[in-house]
Structure 1
Amino acid sequence: MKLIIGAMHEELQDSIAFYKLNKVENEKFTIYKNEEIMFCITGIGLVNAAAQLSYILSKYDIDSIINIGTSGGCDKELKQGDILIIDKIYNSVADATAFGYAYGQVPRMPKYYETSNKDIIKTISKAKIKNIASSDIFIHSTEQVKNFINKIEDKISVLDMECFAYAQTAYLFEKEFSVIKIISDVIGEKNTNNVQFNDFIKIAGKEILEILKKIL
């Protein structure tokens, strides 16, 4: 069974309706499924993301995981509405450099996580391939990018608050993990952020459905 996982209901509600999924859990975790696919809304933040994905992988038979949703950008080459396939995933606030680890690396864990995107890249030809960094900080200023993101020894273009937790959990459970993001705004680029987020997320939800139709 494939698992589609995201932070916000608004991002996935059109897809949940289209695939006519049944809500199977709603007490602690919001989970929808049919015989072939499962959707989970984890909520925002690294702990929520890791806890809920761990719960699902412990209880259900999941073959592969796709995280899809909206994210902010910190790359001037991007614009609102761009579709991205994520390659590498970093933690933007992990700092164990005093012990010889790279900035962004959790001790005794990989420096970053790579995604399983070969089939998706073939299907979504217009997507750009970029790297993402996650933390529990809502990064929204160029100063924060300088303080947290630019310390990573790689080019980071995308920011969110869940992806790293999904990736590390998938790694520990030895599951294939892919990530697709739609850029909601770009830090410091006012001219590219034409649609306010509350309106943009509705547009993005429809785009997410069209993407999922191609890859599921």
Structure 2
Amino acid sequence: MKLIIGAMHEELQDSIAFYNLKKIEEEKFLIYKNEEIMFCITGVGLINSAAQLAYILTKYEIDSIINIGTSGGCDNSLKQGDIILVDKVYNSVADATVFGYAYGQVPRMPKYYETNKEKIMNKIDSAKIKNIASSDIFIHSIDQVNSLVKKIDDEISILDMECFAYAQTAYLFEKEFSVIKIVSDIIGKKDANNVQFNDFIKIAGKEILEILKKIL
């Protein structure tokens, strides 16, 4: 069974309705499924994301995981609405460099997590392949990008608060993991953010459904 996982209900509600998914859990975790696919809405943040994905992977038979949703951009080559197929996933606030680890690397874990993008890249012609970094900090300024994200020894184009947790959990459970993001805004690029987030997320939810139709 494929698992579609994301942070916000607004991002996935159109897809949940289209695939006629039934809510099977809601007391602690919000989980929907039919006979072929499962959706989980984790809420925002690294711990929420890791805990809920680990719960699902210990309780249900999951073959592969796709994280899909919106993401902020820190790359001026991007624009609002761009579809991103993530290559590498980094942590933008882990710092064990005093012990010889790379900035962003959790001790005794990989420097980054590489996704299984090859399985879906040919199905989304308009997607751009970029790297993402995650943290529990809502990064919204150039100063934050410079002080946190730019310390990573790679080019980071988009940011969120969940993806790294999904990626590390998938790695520990040895599950295939892919990431698709729609750029909601570009930090420091005012003319790039024509639609405010509360309106944009409704547009993104419809686009997410169209993407899922292509890859599921």
- TM-score scaled by length of structure 2: 1.00
Deviations, residues 92-138 of structure 1 (Å, cap 9, x unaligned): 00000000000000000000000001121110011000000000000
Corresponding position of 2:25: 25
Taking the aligned partners of 1:210 and 1:124, their CA distance within structure 2 comes to 10
**SS state at 1:50 partner:** helix
Structure 1, unmatched stretches of 5+, are none
Corresponding position of 2:150: 150
Asked if residue 10 in structure 1 is aligned to residue 18 in structure 2, the reply is no
Taking the aligned partners of 1:176 and 1:125, their CA distance within structure 2 comes to 21
Which aligned segments of 4 or more residues in structure 1 are displaced greater than 6 angstroms?
A: none
Corresponding position of 1:182: 182
Corresponding position of 1:75: 75
Deviations, residues 67-102 of structure 1 (Å, cap 9, x unaligned): 000000000000000000000000000000000000
**Could you tell me the percent identity over the aligned residues?**
81
Corresponding position of 1:113: 113
Taking the aligned partners of 2:13 and 2:185, their CA distance within structure 1 comes to 21
> What is the Cα deviation at residue 192 of structure 1?
0.6
Taking the aligned partners of 1:119 and 1:155, their CA distance within structure 2 comes to 23
One-letter amino acid matched to 1:49? S
Corresponding position of 1:168: 168
> What is the Cα deviation at residue 5 of structure 1?
0.1
Taking the aligned partners of 1:195 and 1:120, their CA distance within structure 2 comes to 28
- TM-score scaled by length of structure 1: 1.00
**SS state at 1:98 partner:** helix
One-letter amino acid matched to 1:48? N
Corresponding position of 2:103: 103
**SS state at 2:17 partner:** helix
